[in-house]
């Protein structure tokens, strides 16, 4: 629903950028602490999987839910000891084949389940562990396909044993029950929250772009926020392609000219790696009448997870 506007704009943007090389997502964008987890959980590799360690006398669970067609992946950790349990949630955006970008900050969203919920999760974890070890459920790919195409990878351990499950639409059996209960407890399907946080990132990037132009000058702003393959489209002027050409074009910018703008709105793709913002700009120059107009900036995460404009369009 939120992406209808983005989808419509993407048709126009696709025509503009069809000559630009595609930039696949890379695990280089993922923080160091998360690379091993994602390489082994989200991509379902069975070799060199990071060991899951449970508290003495307790249980530990690691759950990754990843959309097969790309989107927001949710990684949930549950550690439960004798006295208390803790649930940690991190979100990533990307694709199973191309890697993942952290979404929403490095610190996990943590909750402490109430005693009744802790008892339920502990019981489901131990049941799933026993079923996997004794009944052969582990490493089994379920036959059903979810409507939204999610895959789930589940690892369960106690202080002495561990088992891994792989599910497509994991809704049945001991593993499916644990996946559903833990996903619900972590609140990991709050897509509205993800959408709103993505909008805030896009608007924040555009505001930072404008502030840099105001404080350090337009040349510095363009050099900082243009993507390597970025483009600038100005009314009645040739397109400027590539960061180097953009820097060269704006190097002679009159330092006495003040260019200001403010985003009026934004939208972001379902994968969270591309978006756009729009608003009004004003240009004040000594000895000339102020000028104003509209703009659209198309944003993409770069290899470090920072937002850079792929296109800046003004009229």
| Residue 243 vs residue 92, higher pLDDT | 243
- 75-120 pLDDT per residue, tens: 888 999 988 899 988 877 766 666 667 766 666 778 899 999 999 9
Asked if the model's pLDDT at residue 279 lies above 70, the reply is yes
pLDDT band at residue 240 under the 50/70/90 scheme: very high
308 confidence band (pLDDT: 50, 70, 90): very high
Segment among 37-41, 196-200, 264-268, 270-274 with least mean pLDDT: 37-41
Between the two ends of the chain, the Cα-to-Cα distance in Å is 29
27: pLDDT strictly greater than 60: no
In angstroms, the CA 216 to CA 258 distance is 11
pTM of the complete model: 0.57
Q: Check residue 110 and give its pLDDT.
A: 85
Among 3.40.50.300, 3.10.450.50, 1.10.3720.10, 3.30.70.580, name the CATH number for the domain at 192-314: 3.10.450.50
> 282 near 290, Cβ under 8 Å?
yes
In the chain, % of residues over pLDDT 90? 34
Tens of pLDDT, residues 207-239: 999 999 999 999 999 999 999 999 999 888 899
Kindly provide the b/e burial profile for residues 132-156, where b requires at least 16 CB atoms within 10 angstroms of the residue's own CB: beeeebbeeebeeebeeebbbbbbb
282 band by pLDDT with thresholds 50, 70 and 90: very high
Give domain limits for the chain: 31-189, 192-314
Compute φ and ψ for 229, nearest 5 degrees: -105, 25
314 versus 73: the higher-pLDDT residue is: 314
Beta strands in 185-306 (DSSP E): 226-233, 240-241, 258-268, 274-284, 291-301
pLDDT digits (tens, 9 = 90+) for 130-183: 887 655 444 444 433 344 557 777 888 888 877 776 655 555 678 888 888 888
Distance CA 35, CA 48 (A): 13
């Amino acid at each position: 629903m939120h992406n209808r506007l983005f989808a419509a704009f993407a048709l126009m943007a696709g025509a503009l950028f069809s000559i630009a090389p595609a930039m696949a997502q890379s695990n280089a964008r993922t923080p160091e602490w998360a690379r091993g987890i994602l390489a082994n959980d989200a991509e379902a590799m069975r070799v060199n999987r990071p060991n899951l360690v449970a508290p003495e006398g307790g249980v530990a669970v690691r759950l990754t839910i990843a959309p097969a067609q790309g989107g927001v992946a949710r990684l949930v950790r549950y550690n439960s000891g004798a006295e208390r349990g803790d649930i940690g949630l991190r979100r990533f955006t990307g694709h199973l084949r191309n890697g993942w970008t952290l979404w929403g900050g490095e610190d996990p969203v943590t909750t402490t389940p109430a005693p009744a919920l802790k008892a339920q999760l502990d019981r489901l974890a131990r049941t799933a562990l026993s079923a996997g070890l004794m009944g052969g459920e582990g490493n089994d790919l379920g036959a059903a396909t979810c409507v939204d195409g999610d895959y789930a990878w589940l690892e369960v351990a106690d202080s002495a044993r561990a088992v891994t499950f792989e599910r497509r639409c994991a809704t049945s059996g001991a593993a499916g029950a644990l996946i559903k209960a833990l996903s619900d407890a972590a609140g990991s399907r709050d897509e509205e929250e993800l959408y709103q946080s993505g909008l805030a990132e896009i608007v924040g990037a555009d505001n930072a772009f404008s502030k840099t132009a105001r404080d350090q000058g337009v040349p510095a702003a363009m050099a900082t926020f243009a993507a390597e393959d970025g483009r600038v489209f100005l009314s009645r002027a040739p397109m400027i392609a590539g960061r180097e050409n953009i820097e060269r074009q704006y190097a002679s910018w009159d330092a006495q000219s003040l260019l200001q703008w403010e985003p009026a709105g934004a939208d972001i793709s379902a994968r969270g790696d591309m978006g756009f913002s729009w608003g009004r700009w004003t240009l004040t120059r000594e000895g000339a009448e102020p000028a104003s107009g509209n703009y659209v900036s198309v944003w993409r995460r770069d290899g470090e997870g920072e937002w850079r404009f792929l296109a800046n369009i003004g009229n």
